[in-house]
A and B are shown apart, each in its own frame.
Chain A
Amino acid sequence: EVQLVESGGGLVQPGESLRLSCAASGFTFSSYSMTWVRQAPGKGLEWISVITGGSKSTYYADSVKGRFTISRDNSRNTLFLQMNSLRAEDTALYYCAKLRPGNSPFDCWGQGTLVTVSS
């Protein structure tokens, strides 16, 4: 059974940094692209970033490009999101999710970790 467990969320002040983690199990982690998606309180889903299985390629939404960095450690089956220069509008529940090979939706999701940016 695929399991994705996010961690690392918390309360930070504007301008600070935070690193999220997503521990994966139940599948061959290195074979699949992974993604981060966020959901601001009471709002819809916003795609943030994707990383391919071997970390060769990464993709970002314009809203986070230059501030957030996605990475992965396939030896530890873990996905990361380094978030720098955080803003109030980055406050959200951050989900990690798994893609399928090729053009793919997000077929399995974690429970999310909450990031609050406030002074």
Chain B
Amino acid sequence: DIQMTQSPSTLSASVGDRVTITCRASQSISSWLAWYQQKPGKTPSLLISKASTLESGVPSRFSGSGSGTEFSLTISSLQPDDFATYYCQQYNSYSTWTFGQGTKVEIK
């Protein structure tokens, strides 16, 4: 099975900071990677699919990159609404879907 490893587990940052979260797959998943945002007590929300395709309504300060086994989610200028937990997910094979363990972005 494909394992997904995110780093860091927790990230402390200030409003206006540029932040980057990385996600590594245990084997190549091409660009079949998604990023989700989950705010406390809320449902996960799809931010990015196919590694870099921003979902409708997602602010342009979010961007995704990578392919193969190395991926990243970048927030160009952190806003108060962005403090949340972010998960990567691989969907390379139509038989298993795997999430990373999550990265909590908290206020510094």
Contact = CB atoms under 8 A, between A and B. Distances in A.
A108 B97 CA distance: 15
A50 to B, nearest CB: 7
A59 interface: yes
B46 A105 contact: yes
Interface stretch (B10-18, B69-77, B85-93): B85-93
B99 A44 contact: yes
Interface string A31-57: 000010100000011110010000000
Contacts, number: 56
Interface of A is mostly: strand
Contacts of A109: 43-45
Contact of B44 (A45, A59, A61, A104): A45
Interface in B22-79: 32, 34, 36, 38, 43-46, 49, 55
A117 to B, nearest CB: 22
Nearest to A62: B1
Contacts of A106: 34, 44, 46, 89, 97
B43 A103 contact: no
Q: How large is the interface on A (under 10, 10 to 19, 20 to 34, 35 or more residues)?
A: 20 to 34
Interface in B79-108: 87, 89, 91-92, 94-102
B8 to A, nearest CB: 14
A46 B99 contact: yes
A108 B49 CA distance: 13
Interface string A57-75: 0010110000000000000
A103 B94 contact: yes
A20 to B, nearest CB: 16
Interface of A: 35, 37, 44-47, 50, 59, 61-62, 95, 103-112
